[in-house]
Amino acid sequence: MYKFKPILKTMVWGTESWVLSGVPGNESVVAEGPEAGKTICDIFPGQFPLLIKFIDAHQNLSIQVHPDDELAAKRHNCKGKTEMWYVIGASEGAHLLSGLKEQIDPEKYVELVESDKITDVLADYPVSAGDVFFLPAGRIHAIGGGCYIAEIQQTSNITYRIYDYGRVGLDGKPRQLHTQEAKDAVDYTVHEDYRTHYVARKDESVRLVSCPFFTTDLLDLDKPFSMKVESDFLIVVCMEGSGTVNGLSLKAGETGLLLKEDLEIVPDGNMKLLTSHI
């Protein structure tokens, strides 16, 4: 298993820790072992397809949307951005926005953005630890202040900022909005419920999300766990507790990468993890 040095980013709304990244200019570096100092590009052929973050939101993030692969390739010559959130912790009253709660068209969308009323048509969810949201490209969304979240996404850093509460950036200048770019990226479909529902089970793998871009499972362990890995790689994201994964220590806030090896976890007490692969 490989462990990597986190890439810490200070944002106007809080902090991000990129714990596994193949984004150009932000490639993760192996933290320890015989290959310490090598980048993810050195140990994985081609661009690593997933980006793993821990997001600590002190304030509301901007309301945003991401393009799909087709639009991102056309405009930016890169992949689109489908992602998911696992809420690790949330302060009292914390919430997030995910998806449209009423039908609008592109013209109405522009009208709502320009009149500062786009939040009126977005589904608003109070959240607590363990909540999961799947965010396919095109779904309008925003993390609220007080949320601590593990995010798994395609390797892409393309974000269209729709609305930002009139906030200025760390440079003191108004943050750029992408109203027109987002207009063509938004999926205007309305769904009844945007929350991902699952039944938690102790000491076994629980499927949370399966899509063309990644498959993510939850492990809530208090005893050793082993699993045969069929995929070329498996990401192991530790969200609570600590233990060993394939003989190496892993604690909350850290992520490991297995390349063509099976999984062996020995928790120290209780340990909660996500695993993700393609």
Please report whether residue 70 resides in a domain.
yes
Instruction: Summarize pLDDT for 62-73 with one digit per residue, the tens.
Output: 999 999 999 999
94 and 64 in a common domain? yes
Residues 6 or more apart whose CB falls under 8 angstroms from that of 193 comprise none
Please report whether residue 201 resides in a domain.
no
Instruction: Summarize pLDDT for 15-31 with one digit per residue, the tens.
Output: 999 999 999 999 999 99
Domain boundary among 196, 229, 257: 196
Question: Cα separation of 240 and 169, whole Å?
Answer: 32
Instruction: Summarize pLDDT for 151-189 with one digit per residue, the tens.
Output: 999 999 999 999 999 898 889 998 899 999 999 999 999
171 and 33 in a common domain? yes
User: Is pLDDT at 6 greater than 90 in this prediction?
Assistant: yes
Question: What is the domain range of residue 115?
Answer: 2-196
84 and 28 in a common domain? yes
Other C-beta atoms lying within 10 Å of the C-beta of residue 147: 25
Question: Cα separation of 268 and 135, whole Å?
Answer: 32
71 and 16 in a common domain? yes
pTM of the model: 0.96
Question: How many domains does the chain divide into?
Answer: 2
Question: Three-class SS of residue 93?
Answer: coil
Domain boundary among 196, 215, 232: 196
Q: What confidence score (pLDDT) does residue 174 get?
A: 87
User: Is pLDDT at 205 greater than 90 in this prediction?
Assistant: yes
CATH of the domain at 219: 2.60.120.10
- Average confidence score pLDDT of the chain: 97
Instruction: Summarize pLDDT for 245-263 with one digit per residue, the tens.
Output: 999 999 999 999 999 999 9
95 and 56 in a common domain? yes
Instruction: Summarize pLDDT for 217-250 with one digit per residue, the tens.
Output: 999 999 999 999 999 999 999 999 999 999 999 9
Q: What confidence score (pLDDT) does residue 273 get?
A: 98
Question: Three-class SS of residue 138?
Answer: coil
Q: What confidence score (pLDDT) does residue 168 get?
A: 87
Domain boundary among 138, 172, 196: 196
